[in-house]
Chain A
Amino acid sequence: MNEQYQHDQQPSTPQQGILMPRPTAAPLVLAFGVMLIACGLVLNYAFSAVGLVLVLGGLARWIYILASGTGEELVPLEREPAPVKISRVQVEPLRPGMAGHRMKIPLEVHPYSAGLKGGIIGGIAMAVTALAYGLISGRGLWYPVNLLGGMVVPSVVHWTPAELAQFHFMEFAIGTVIFGFTAIAVGLMFGILLPTMPRWPILWGGIVAPVLWTGAIYSFMGILNPALGEHIDWEWFFVSQFAYGITVGIVVVRTEKIPVSGIKK
């Protein structure tokens, strides 16, 4: 039998008491010995020698109590815990229209696939806008892609305009991952949130969200990466955000709604 406590094998005997491990100084002595052995390295090897004696003594005691079966003792029973109070209070599930709650549950929502589709199509619209900016401004097709990669790759901030205009596989891969992930994630959020917005969902998605998002990025870019911030054309940044938001809004809104219960299926 190893050290594992034996109550698994031996059921409690409530009349006599319960078998529990007996207190022992063996672990304390052993640990103290280990400490002395360690300290002997810097103090004097005599400490290590004493520590070794203590470790052997502690270990011998430990093995003895396990081997001889003296490691447990019968502990008498103490007072019983207070009886559990039965509660007859029912937990009532929340229902629409229940008094005292502000619960509003839509009966029909857009499926998750609407947000996914909107994110992908909106992402394509945004990418086309951003790449068009690169060509129209004369900074090169890959300019916005490299800037996006620069969010993670620090060396991009030191690149010359010529280098920013060229294709770089690493920045392309990073930019694609960041862009694809964000476009789909935000699309899914739009898919859920837009229908809950009052009156004109497309307006919220196409105008308000891009304004807020662009404003937030503009504010934080000075802290997050000021060198990179200098390269960004903020008007075009907003235009590409607008292209994304309006596209997602249209795709989501045009998708047929399904009953709420349909989500679980």
Chain B
Amino acid sequence: MASIDTPSTPKDSTTVPLITRLHGWVISVDHKRIGIMYLLMSFLFLILGGVQGLFIRMQLWGPNGTVVDADTYNQLFTMHGTTMIFFVLMPMLGGFANFVVPLMIGARDVAFPRLNAMGFWLSFFGGCVLYYSHLGAEGLYGAASAPDIGWFAYAPLTSPAFSRGNATDYWILGTTLTGVGAISLAVNMVATIFTMRAPGMRLTKMPLYVLLFLVDAILILLVFPPFAAAQFMLLLDRFLGAHFFDPQVGGSALLWQHLFWFFGHPEVYILALPAFAVISEVIPVFSRKVIFGYLSMAAATIAIGFISCGVWAHHMFTVGLSDTLDTFFAGATMLVAIPTGIKIFNWVATMYGGRLRLQTPMLYALGFLTLFLFGGLTGIMLASPPFDWQASDSAFLVGHFHYTLVGGILFAFLAGFYYWYPKMFGRMMSERLGIIQFAFTYIGFNALFIPMHIVGMLGMPRRIYTYTDPSWTIWNQISTIGAFMMAIGLLLFLYNFFSSLRHGKIAGDDPWDAWTLEWNTTSPPPCYNFKEIPTVRSRRPLWDLKHPDDPDWKHE
């Protein structure tokens, strides 16, 4: 049985020395603190990945650029992609899952709090290992000081013959560690959601946010283990000469592509579903309406999770698969558009006729809708193999996936930051700065990535460190200007985030007049979340409390 002891959590943090406070954070197993640490981790790596992106854009400012050399450019886009996927967006996912889900289901913590902490630290140390390659990867060979194999690490680039030194090894180890961390997170989410929901919260009464994270966690459990296996095989290739991916001695380079993209494409949806979850909370609250079509949204989510596991080879149309495979994967990919379209229509229908409040979270939600729709439409274009053959390795594709990953997912997470910040810290972020930041980020983003579609159609390949065609110059220059505008926007966000900790307006417990359980406790919440576990009867329990004459459970 548990013992009863004096609390180790300090009552008043302002009277406690900084070192003690930091110690309190690093040994914490509280889901809210771990969530915030995930988010802070994502900020750290966002700065690193962002600077890499800026160097890429500066190098491509004009023909025959000399800002960096070809090898450094290869390292830059490798580190940029790896950092943004594994160490920026994944930790944001972890942060929002950890902070919000237990509160929203009326639980006091996650099912496995210590495993949760271990998962976070594994993810963080994974990032440290990757970046240690800058210091320690030269090994005995004096070779590349950072991985230069792309975020997808295609064979045979990763073989010892083409990747001397240890940079690639650090890439494998770093991403494997963070992958194990992600699996820990997913196990926790599944167990927490299935076993710790408040009384009365049946599976069909869960807020969409929770349902989406449940499907997301199941996806993680499905695709990260095969990826870990692939990385282990790659380690065996590199250290023990196993030749899994070496076609010269009976291995298959294509096998790596299959294994990688079996993880890599669902990974896009692993990142997108939490973004959808955030949007499914923000849009109803700021439209003052219940979400439109809950059941169809739930069905679409499950359909996306299911279909996303069967589309990976659309990343491989250009390797020369058979017509049969091309056809199957093209059809499956186009099929994803149906549930995704249902979601977009439902979000729009939620806004229709609502009393819109155009505050910063809603602005980002609207930004998400426009940008994700654009990214989705170019995705359907790329799902057609004849088009993909022309555009696959061009800047068009770079533009497309940035619209999905940044325009879609990052914008949704930014909406989430503004929305749940008052709950996390008890203060509001500056609305004025938020609007200015949104303008910089939205305009900068479009200036950065729309020209990539054009210059891609003009024939500019991706992953080239320089070019000679002068007709591409203007588009690249617009892109570079857009990149700096976006960087200003994100710096403003970070400034807003940290300055509001001290100077933000006191938020109160329910600043948005929202409807889910996390707004029914203090801001920030106590470590036990709720003094008494609430009982719920509908998907909007706080609405029921606020409107006893017209509760939701009468209509659901």
Which chain A residues lie closer than 8 Å to B389 at the CB level? 154
- Complex contact A154–B2 (CB within 8 A): no
A-contact bits for B94-127, CB 8 A (1 contact / 0 none): 0000000000000011111111111001100110
Which chain B residues lie closer than 8 Å to A4 at the CB level? 111-112, 191, 195
Give Cα A53 to B521, complex, Å: 42
Which chain B residues lie closer than 8 Å to A42 at the CB level? 136, 139, 166, 169-170, 173
A-contact bits for B128-156, CB 8 A (1 contact / 0 none): 11001000100100000000000000000
A70-85 residues at the B interface, CB under 8 angstroms: 70-82, 84-85
Binds B, one of A33-41, A112-120, A132-140: A33-41
With contact pairs A12-B531, A38-B173 given, residues A22 and B5 touching in the complex (Cβ less than 8 Å): yes
With contact pairs A151-B384, A223-B387, A228-B386 given, residues A24 and B122 touching in the complex (Cβ less than 8 Å): no
- Complex contact A25–B109 (CB within 8 A): no
- Complex contact B112–A3 (CB within 8 A): yes
Which chain A residues lie closer than 8 Å to B545 at the CB level? 84, 86
Residue in B closest to A17 when the chains form the complex, CB atoms = B7
User: Which listed residue (A5, A34, A88) contacts B108, Cβ 8 A?
Assistant: A5
Q: Does B306 contact A (CB under 8 A)?
A: no
Give Cα A21 to B27, complex, Å: 11
Distance (Å) between the CB of B155 and the closest chain A CB?
Answer: 19
With contact pairs A41-B169, A84-B542 given, residues A5 and B109 touching in the complex (Cβ less than 8 Å): yes
With contact pairs A4-B195, A78-B526, A152-B385 given, residues A72 and B29 touching in the complex (Cβ less than 8 Å): no
User: Which listed residue (B116, B235, B326, B542) contacts A154, Cβ 8 A?
Assistant: B326
Q: Does B26 contact A (CB under 8 A)?
A: yes
Q: Does B248 contact A (CB under 8 A)?
A: no
- Complex contact A38–B129 (CB within 8 A): yes
B-contact bits for A221-254, CB 8 A (1 contact / 0 none): 0011101100000000000000000000000000
- Complex contact A25–B522 (CB within 8 A): no
Q: Does B323 contact A (CB under 8 A)?
A: yes
Residue in A closest to B5 when the chains form the complex, CB atoms = A73
- Complex contact B384–A152 (CB within 8 A): yes
Residue in B closest to A65 when the chains form the complex, CB atoms = B114
With contact pairs A75-B9, A82-B510 given, residues A18 and B528 touching in the complex (Cβ less than 8 Å): yes
Binds A, one of B44-52, B58-66, B368-376, B546-554: B546-554
Distance (Å) between the CB of A161 and the closest chain B CB?
Answer: 19
Give Cα A174 to B386, complex, Å: 15
Which chain A residues lie closer than 8 Å to B27 at the CB level? 23-25, 28
Q: Does A172 contact B (CB under 8 A)?
A: no
- Complex contact B327–A31 (CB within 8 A): no
Q: Considering residues A17, A81, A224, which has the most beta carbons from chain B within 10 angstroms of its beta carbon?
A: A81
Residue in A closest to B11 when the chains form the complex, CB atoms = A76
B248-303 residues at the A interface, CB under 8 angstroms: none
Q: Does A153 contact B (CB under 8 A)?
A: yes
Distance (Å) between the CB of A116 and the closest chain B CB?
Answer: 17
Which chain B residues lie closer than 8 Å to A74 at the CB level? 4-7
With contact pairs A27-B114, A84-B546 given, residues A154 and B29 touching in the complex (Cβ less than 8 Å): no
- Complex contact A12–B526 (CB within 8 A): no
Residue in A closest to B457 when the chains form the complex, CB atoms = A223
With contact pairs A5-B108, A24-B114, A82-B508 given, residues A154 and B3 touching in the complex (Cβ less than 8 Å): no
Which chain A residues lie closer than 8 Å to B3 at the CB level? 69-70, 72-73
- Complex contact A31–B118 (CB within 8 A): yes
Q: Does B437 contact A (CB under 8 A)?
A: no
Which chain B residues lie closer than 8 Å to A90 at the CB level? 549-550
Which chain B residues lie closer than 8 Å to A80 at the CB level? 522, 531
Q: Does A256 contact B (CB under 8 A)?
A: no
Interface size class of B (residues with CB under 8 A): 35 or more
Q: Does B360 contact A (CB under 8 A)?
A: no
A-contact bits for B15-36, CB 8 A (1 contact / 0 none): 0000000001011111000000
- Complex contact B239–A170 (CB within 8 A): no
Q: Does B520 contact A (CB under 8 A)?
A: yes
Distance (Å) between the CB of A174 and the closest chain B CB?
Answer: 6
- Complex contact B387–A224 (CB within 8 A): yes
Q: Does B532 contact A (CB under 8 A)?
A: yes
Q: Does A209 contact B (CB under 8 A)?
A: no
A1-35 residues at the B interface, CB under 8 angstroms: 3-8, 10, 12, 14, 16-28, 30-32, 34-35
Which chain B residues lie closer than 8 Å to A94 at the CB level? 353
Which chain B residues lie closer than 8 Å to A39 at the CB level? 129, 132, 173
Give Cα A12 to B527, complex, Å: 13
Q: Considering residues A5, A18, A73, A87, which has the most beta carbons from chain B within 10 angstroms of its beta carbon?
A: A5
With contact pairs A3-B115, A4-B111, A18-B531 given, residues A85 and B546 touching in the complex (Cβ less than 8 Å): yes
- Complex contact B323–A8 (CB within 8 A): no
Which chain A residues lie closer than 8 Å to B387 at the CB level? 223-225
Give Cα A228 to B547, complex, Å: 60
Distance (Å) between the CB of A46 and the closest chain B CB?
Answer: 14
A95-152 residues at the B interface, CB under 8 angstroms: 101, 150-152
- Complex contact B29–A23 (CB within 8 A): yes
Q: Does B468 contact A (CB under 8 A)?
A: no
Q: Does B82 contact A (CB under 8 A)?
A: no
Which chain A residues lie closer than 8 Å to B113 at the CB level? 3, 5, 21
Q: Does A43 contact B (CB under 8 A)?
A: yes
Distance (Å) between the CB of B176 and the closest chain A CB?
Answer: 7
Q: Considering residues A12, A28, A76, A85, which has the most beta carbons from chain B within 10 angstroms of its beta carbon?
A: A28
Residue in B closest to A36 when the chains form the complex, CB atoms = B125
Which chain B residues lie closer than 8 Å to A76 at the CB level? 7
Give Cα A150 to B28, complex, Å: 58
Q: Does A261 contact B (CB under 8 A)?
A: no
Q: Does A62 contact B (CB under 8 A)?
A: yes
- Complex contact A174–B129 (CB within 8 A): no
- Complex contact B548–A27 (CB within 8 A): no
Q: Does A212 contact B (CB under 8 A)?
A: no
- Complex contact A30–B327 (CB within 8 A): no
- Complex contact B323–A155 (CB within 8 A): yes
Which chain B residues lie closer than 8 Å to A216 at the CB level? none
With contact pairs A71-B2, A75-B7, A75-B527 given, residues A12 and B532 touching in the complex (Cβ less than 8 Å): yes
- Complex contact A27–B4 (CB within 8 A): no
Q: Does B14 contact A (CB under 8 A)?
A: no
Residue in B closest to A84 when the chains form the complex, CB atoms = B545
Distance (Å) between the CB of A147 and the closest chain B CB?
Answer: 12
Which 9 interchain pairs have the tightest Cβ spacing?
A: A72-B2, A31-B121, A27-B118, A27-B117, A35-B125, A18-B528, A78-B526, A23-B27, A225-B386
Q: Can you name 20 extra interface pairs (CB under 8 A) apart from A73-B5, A174-B327?
A: A5-B108, A5-B111, A10-B2, A12-B528, A18-B531, A23-B30, A27-B115, A27-B118, A30-B118, A42-B136, A42-B169, A73-B7, A74-B4, A75-B526, A82-B510, A87-B546, A151-B384, A152-B385, A155-B323, A177-B331
Selected A-B contacts with CB under 8 Å, 10 pairs: A3-B115, A5-B110, A23-B8, A27-B29, A35-B177, A78-B522, A80-B522, A82-B509, A151-B386, A154-B386
